[in-house]
Amino acid sequence: MAFQPKSLTCSDCGSTFTFSVEDQEFFAQKGFTNEPKRCPSCRTARKAERGNSGGGFGGGFGGGRNSFGGGARQMFPATCSDCGKSTEVPFEPRNGKPVYCSDCYRKVNAR
């Protein structure tokens, strides 16, 4: 299937953007059947509003994994339940659930 660049209109800002051949190939490879509704700027802004909570297709269009808003994930301060060391974890700790630093996590998972 030969793709051709397409001009699309962003549903958020109304600007015209190009749905490139590379982006179309990426969509086809991932099995996506709908064209993007938002321009790259609005996609990035929308992803930031959601707090990079996953969803969507992950890494952006055409230009590699972190093309549109990849960035670092939010980290939360915690105290290791095993050794008591201060650490950061990529989830919000809940009362009653153990939280481990990376060293203790490896030990716990090796058991």
- Tens digit of pLDDT for each residue in 45-87? 888 888 755 555 444 444 444 444 556 678 889 899 999 999 9
Q: Is pLDDT of 104 > 60? A: yes
Is 88 in the same domain as 60?
Answer: no
Of 40, 37, 46, 50, nearest to 9 (Cα)? Answer: 37
Is 104 in the same domain as 67?
Answer: no
Is 45 in the same domain as 82?
Answer: no
Q: What are the C-alpha distances in Å from 29 to residues 1, 25, 32, 33, 57?
A: 12, 6, 8, 10, 11
Is 3 in the same domain as 37?
Answer: yes
- Work out how many domains the chain is built from and give that number: 2
Distance CA 89, CA 72 (A): 12
Q: What is the pTM (predicted TM-score) of this model?
A: 0.44
Is 82 in the same domain as 97?
Answer: yes
